[in-house]
Structure 1
């Protein structure tokens, strides 16, 4: 009913409906403007009325009207601040202004009535009523109220005066201003919605790309590695090792649909690393890993990335380093963690690794960068290899 009558929705209702921020800001400023306007016009009008009370036709009426006007101004401010504009509040304000306009001849001294329009205290109240109607309602209701107040003013004032015309002009100017503010607020809200939708779409695309890259890393670490070993003759078709590796690879593929490592939100990296170190590596030479890890709890996705990166580094040691031993160390930093995998094997030149090889680039470095960390591979022929993974925290 309120919306159909053109009254703006109350502030609390607008907030509960998740009102657009710019339009909500305009409504809030409109309420502040109406509160200040009604209070200042009521006090100013009361002072002016009491100053000319003795010269009015009915001084007693002036006193009653001033008391009623001040009481209404206080009530108007309290209700407007508490719940915003409402149908009955605007109706009461229009009724008060109309009553003052109808009693114009009895409330204002004759010398003021004969002066230019807009000089009496009733003019102050009429003008404020016109402005409040434009900020409290939608069009054409606001202008209809302005025309009504102007007509009542003309009926209560002696003779032909320019004040009713000025009231209508004031209403038109205020309606234009309010209309521009509301239109711009709607435009800003539309832009904010479009920007938020674009950001959400980009985040969704980024998440999809990140998930795709992670699945590619997992496939590289499992299925592609097994196929490479079969293709190079490292595992024969009849070998039982192939069956074990295939079963392990299928388990990894099936686990892509589940939470990574099935770790809780806060994961103990040291425990996950110990499980990864002792896990079998079918088809690869045995590798003894000397571990030196400290208790360390990290976010689930960070712990998963560090464990998978370490697994890939250990597989590379077993596959390429020509040594049966590797060292794994975990240090806790102020906010994050540093993990190192070191071997004393044959080593290699990282700069000569072909671009199409994804082990170091994606399965280790790409994985760490995806969670806000990074990796460094230090090696040279004959001097072993050192893989350093770190996550700075935050």
Structure 2
């Protein structure tokens, strides 16, 4: 393919081959860069054009006269046509293919090889058009999917924030109204203004940050400290409890500690309000990398199946909070047999 038979001149063939190798190496290195320059592809077309025009002095006569396009410059021309279709925009790409075919015909005469170059350019252009069309459709599909996921995450975050606010209102404002409505706390009670002030502070905080979930730190937090704080907290308007506390030192993600501690607080509030007992027990044990917390009492118990659907205490303030952090909650009780609430979380 590379020969020195007449009319090929050995010096010019050597110069052309060495120059082509140097250019090919430079072209490869620059193409692999993040943002290759457009002039690089125009330069490649120019190199191919020069070689095609000069092939009368670079290719042996017997190879030049063949109609199969088997010379080394024929292969360079075909490669240049394909590179132009992939790297240049239309119609410049097909224009480059036609220019290469014309230069080939001028350098070697009009032969089958020149026609084949044009056909190869057309086929390569068609392939590139199809590939780019498919890539655009794939990009569009991925963009729509990403947008849908972002919208879903936004809706989920909004729903989570809404549920957090509902649970917070249930544990504070609605709990106060329930105690007033059932007579557990009277209008003349000194505890009522204290509870009302605390509830108003909660409402003011929700108004100050509308539609935004409270910030939740991802750093580990001590569960034992949070639960001890819950146990020692005075429940305004409710009788005090004697709570047996057995929780070892445990560090868990902050959102898990918050969910568990608020769930335990709701369970203890239910004991003080409904169980007709003044004793309860809060225990915890490590389960793998997670935890299981139990709140037990020996009060009058209840039938879980008989709880009305509008009662949201256990369902949202306990079960809902644990589900929100990937955990679970279970309440076991029966009339006269006390109640056992288990909150469980594992990563």
TM-score interval w.r.t. the shorter chain? over 0.9
Deviation at 1:254, TM superposition (A): 3.6
In the alignment, what sits opposite 2:171? Answer: 221
The runs of 5 or more residues in structure 2 that have no matched partner are none
Corresponding position of 2:244: 290
Name the residue aligned to 2:143. Answer: 193
* Equivalent position of 2:50 in the other structure: 99
Q: Deviations over 1:345-382 (max 9, x none)?
A: 11111111111111111111111111110111111111
Residue 109 (structure 1) aligned with residue 60 (structure 2): yes
1:2-41 to structure 2, matched below 5 A, reads none
Partner of 1:178: 128
Per the alignment, residue 9 of structure 2 pairs with 58
Structural mapping, 1:128-207, within 5 Å: 128-158=79-109, 160-207=110-157
Which residue of 325, 349, 352 corresponds with 2:303?
A: 349
Return the offset for 1:291.
Answer: 0.8
CA distance in 2, matches of 1:128, 1:270: 71
Judge conservation of contact 1:260–1:301 (CA < 8 Å) in 2. Answer: no
Assess if the C-alpha contact under 8 Å between 1:85 and 1:136 holds in 2.
no
Give the alignment of 1:232-251 within 5 angstroms.
232-251=182-201
C-alpha deviation, 1:259, in angstroms: 7.3
Aligned counterparts of 1:60 and 1:168: Cα–Cα separation in 2: 31
| 2:269 is aligned with 1:315 | yes
Give SS of 1:239's match.
Answer: coil
Q: Does the 8 Å contact 1:373/1:391 carry over to 2? A: yes
CA distance in 2 between counterparts of 1:161 and 1:326 reads: 99
> In the alignment, which residue of structure 2 is the partner of 1:71?
22
What is the CA–CA distance in structure 2 between the aligned matches of 1:144 and 1:194, rounded to whole Å?
Answer: 35
Deviates more, 1:368-377 or 1:77-86: 77-86
Match of 2:72 among 121, 125, 135: 121
CA distance 1:224–1:99, shift in 2 (3 Å): same
Q: Equivalents in 1 of 2:253, 2:285: separation in Å? A: 16
What SS class does the counterpart of residue 388 from structure 1 fall into?
strand
Deviations 1:269-316 (A, max 9, x none): 111111111111111112121211111111111111111111110011
Q: Secondary structure at the match of 1:377?
A: strand
Provide the secondary structure at the position in 1 that maps to 2:74.
Answer: helix
Q: Secondary structure at 2:5's aligned position in 1?
A: helix
Alpha-carbon deviation of 1:199?
0.9
**SS of aligned partner of 1:387:** strand
- Structure 2 counterpart of 1:306, from 260, 267, 283: 260
What CA distance in whole angstroms lies between the structure 2 residues aligned with 1:331 and 1:136? 64
Task: For residues 241-287 of structure 1, give each alpha carbon's deviation from its aligned partner in whole angstroms, at most 9, with x where no partner exists.
Answer: 21111122223334444975987732211111111111111111121
Q: 1:60/1:322 Cα in 2 relative to 1: closer, same or farther (>3 Å)?
A: same
Partner of 1:373: 327
